[in-house]
Amino acid sequence: MSEEEIKKTVFQLLKRIAPETDPSLLMQEENIREALNIDSFDALQFIVAISEKLKVDIPEEDYGKTTNLKSLIGYLLKKIKQ
């Protein structure tokens, strides 16, 4: 899976969690939760959705590596290639 495919999936899942937002406007290092005004419950749903959709395990201790697009996509690329 390419970086662009991962990004597209992330945007689709974010749009499902926060339908009134436009995730494609996120800056690479902008905090996703703050920028899209996502609460902690929705953030957890987002992580679970990514994990299920991309079939990767994202342990709780790695949640800090998923706070912005740059780190999230980089993290997912590594997990998918394992």
As a whole number of angstroms, the distance between CA 44 and CA 12 comes to 16
Total count of domains within the chain: 1
- Helical segments of 1-82, H only: 3-17, 32-36, 40-54, 69-81
**Domain containing 54 — which CATH number?**
1.10.1200.10
Q: What's the predicted TM-score (pTM) here?
A: 0.90
Domain hosting 15: range is: 3-81
Average of per-residue pLDDT across 18-32 = 94
pLDDT at res. 12: 96
Q: Which tens digits make up the pLDDT trace of 43-66?
A: 999 999 999 999 999 999 999 999
As a whole number of angstroms, the distance between CA 69 and CA 65 comes to 10
